[in-house]
Chain A
Amino acid sequence: MGKKLLVALGVLVLVAAAWSGPAWAQKGPIKIGYQGPMTGPAAAVGKDMANGLKMYLDEVGHQIAGRKVELIVEDNQGQPDLALTKLRKLVESDKVHVMAGGLFAHIGYALAPKVDEYKVPMLYPVMAADDLTQRKPAKWVVRTGWTGSQPSHPFGEWVFKTLGYKKVVVVGMDYAFGWEVVGGFQKSFEEAGGQVIQKLWPPLNTTDFAPYLAQIRKDADAVFALMVAVSSLRFPKQYQDAGLKARLPLIGGGTTFDEFVLPSLGDEAIGGISPLIYSAALDTPVNKRFVKEYRAKFGKVPSYYSETYYTAGRWINEAAKAIGGNVEDNERFLAALRKVEISDAPRGPIKLDAYGNPIQNIYIRKVEKKDGELWNTVIQTFPAVSQFWKYKPDEFLKQPVYSRDFPPCKFC
């Protein structure tokens, strides 16, 4: 066996030699590394994300600050271990200058320490893990997206005051993002006077909700659901089939009724109310153009996943222009990335707060049917909301990060 193993290893070494490839030229293209789930249960979301970024790069003719742009797309299957391996590959082997990627919040936490170690700026256009711009800031992570609790803060109070619900049951995906979206909602909803009377936590990527739906307490006024990707596809239908929709209105986190799932949903989704940083139905010229062109190119309505990655492309462009395209100077590039302000993104104006999270509009959206299609009609806009909303940052940061047990369920 030894001889053959030797041969196998010889081949391996040859591959290695070929892999090292041509030396990287000082002023070659600007290399952007993307990683997302391109296969696996969340693959469709990964495509929305990559399409958004590609669309922007196509629009600028793959030229940024006078240099060509090369986009390297890697598949991480939504798995943290693979995400770390792909991060190594993009930095060590492809020598990218900047990265943008990720979907699930827990992967955001897994990648951040490694990104800091490599000192290559990485944009998090979607990964909303709160603490990365709160209690555990990561220097080299530039969050151009949002924190999970950001839309929930104004939404909780609004639900109590405007919709008048007093008692709410929460069904949330059992991981960082779910806890944060639910936690933000619970905090402001209960401070306004409401009560969260039950919290159910199905695991990530659950598709059969029957055991959870059966447990929902009958004395609630509404159900707040936080679903993601494949779970969003299944939940509203099962909610209706369980006979709950007629009795208990369904509200939720933004991803529960995202444009990514709406085309696959039927009338069961109509009436769902959720807050998010974007709606494809936004009635601004910039967004209308964006939606029209995205549809022409990819045959579907852009979701917030597409919008945030599209804007991430723009973000990189603005920062690279500000330093004359010299992205090799990573410290200056990072500083420039942090200074970017965009006044006319499809989702509205964006700039970073002192902690590195965008201050942006939060839209409260209601699913309605127009011309045979489901849309998230914007029924209320909260302009320029920061991750801390009306709270004082230093006081807010004294509370622990939202988790399964925080805020505690006082009324359960």
Chain B
Amino acid sequence: MRLPLLPRHRQIGLGIMLLILIVSPPFLSSFLLSLLTQALIYGVLAMSLDLLVGYLGLPSLGHAAYLGLGAYSVGVLTTRYGANSWIALSVGLLLAMAVAAVFGLVALRATGVYFLMITLALGMVIWGLAHRWVSMTQGDNGISGVPRPDLGLPWSFAKAIPFYYLSLVGFLLALWVLWVIVHSPFGQSLVGIRESESRMRTLGYNVWLHKYIGFIIAGTVGGFSGVLWAYYNGFVSPANMELATSVEALLMVALGGRATLLGPAVGAAAIVFLKNLVSVYTHRWVLILGAVYIGTIVYAPEGIAGALTQLTKGVKPEPLRSKV
């Protein structure tokens, strides 16, 4: 497949950014490195949600469920059955995919606010399951003591730096997959559906099927972020898939800039760092986070990515019709 070429300065920019991500870990304090790892993992979640919110115009309030599914697959399989990491990974992805396939049937009957409500309800079903199915999930106690992955490779990922690189590889893999998808004819048709469903239908596209496949892909990649999260944190609990996590994921997308993939990843990093660094200095950090959100919505409705483009180019970014 031919990928659209980026302008030269962007290629260089992205290259340098990648270089920094690769080179910086040994120079970072271990706490900062753990935050950067978190940012990458939440970046995967935010990018997968961006496929729904940005490219399909379907704001979901239940995306944390997929993170939870991936995370619980790893938690249960590794601590209870001592499963190998590849099996845990596959089960995590398949489970997220299967649940997305079922939820998609229900959720895609609606759009806009109704889609928001249905995904919210479905997300709470998964949360409730984690909470009440104590014999499997250990309820509110959560599952602790999840070991770091062993991929059968000559490297151990037990230490922070190797695990960071593993997360980076996972992040790049997710980015690559999503990048290819959104730039494929399929991805273009998703954007078309976002812009005008009726026109796409008239042109002969099976709109529902396109949305359904998009929904499943988003869920599966979301599950991947959960797999990484369980290995990173060593602990899984229902708190992982509370409404707050879903809202946070949506805010990452809004903050970073919809339909840009990398924007939401930057949004994820911004929120992870804001949350964890500001709270060191003040207990009023929630207030500051709130102010940042309001500021973004009022002054940079297209998110960080949009604001930067506008700032440097002096042009308005392509307007989006769907509102989050």
Contacts and interface: CB of A to CB of B under 8 A. Distances in A.
A176 interface: yes
Given A85-B38, A85-B276, A110-B237, A204 B140 contact: yes
Interface in B1-40: 6, 9-17, 20-21, 24, 27-32, 34-35, 38
A114 B145 CA distance: 8
Contacts of B145: 113
B31 A92 contact: yes
Contacts, number: 133
A106 to B, nearest CB: 5
Interface in A114-139: 114
Given A13-B24, A106-B237, A112 B144 contact: yes
B283 A2 contact: no
How many interface residues does chain A have, given as a range?
Answer: 35 or more
Interface in A5-56: 5-6, 8-10, 12-13, 15-17, 19-20, 38-39
A85 B305 CA distance: 28
B283 A6 contact: no
Nearest to B9: A3
Given A6-B13, A9-B20, A85-B38, A19 B142 contact: no
B167 interface: no
Interface string A170-207: 00001110000000000000000000000000011000
A53 B258 CA distance: 46
Given A1-B308, A3-B9, A113-B234, A19 B29 contact: yes
Interface stretch (A72-80, A147-155, A269-277, A343-351): A72-80
A6 B139 contact: no
Contacts of B312: 3-4
Interface string B222-264: 0000000000011101011000000000000000000010110
Interface in A232-268: none
A14 B273 CA distance: 14
B24 A88 contact: no
Nearest to B146: A113
B17 A404 contact: no
B280 interface: yes
Given A81-B235, A85-B276, A175-B141, A16 B28 contact: yes
B286 interface: yes
B279 interface: yes
Contact of A5 (B6, B38, B262, B277): B262
Contacts of A405: 134
A65 interface: no
Contacts of A8: 266
A105 B140 CA distance: 10
A93 interface: yes
A174 to B, nearest CB: 7
Nearest to B257: A1
Chain B CB within 10 Å, residue with most, of A2, A81, A175: A2
A4 B308 contact: yes
Nearest to B260: A1
A39 B275 CA distance: 13
Contacts of A79: 239
A326 interface: no
A109 B234 contact: no
A17 B233 CA distance: 25
B279 A75 contact: yes
Contacts of A89: 31, 276, 280
Nearest to B279: A75
A1 B9 CA distance: 9
A114 B139 contact: no
A20 B237 contact: no
Contact of A92 (B14, B30, B279, B305): B30
Given A1-B262, A2-B9, A3-B312, A114 B140 contact: no
Contacts of A1: 10, 13, 260, 262-263, 305, 308-309
Interface in A187-229: 203-204
A106 B142 contact: yes
A364 to B, nearest CB: 28
B131 interface: yes
Nearest to A94: B31
19 contacts: A1-B260, A1-B263, A2-B13, A9-B21, A13-B27, A19-B31, A20-B28, A39-B286, A74-B280, A81-B233, A85-B35, A85-B276, A88-B31, A105-B141, A110-B237, A114-B234, A174-B131, A175-B139, A176-B141
Given A2-B16, A110-B237, A113-B144, 11 more contacts: A1-B260, A1-B262, A2-B12, A2-B13, A2-B15, A39-B286, A80-B235, A92-B30, A110-B142, A112-B144, A175-B139
- 6 smallest CB-CB distances across A and B, nearest first, come from A2-B13, A93-B31, A175-B140, A4-B308, A2-B10, A92-B30
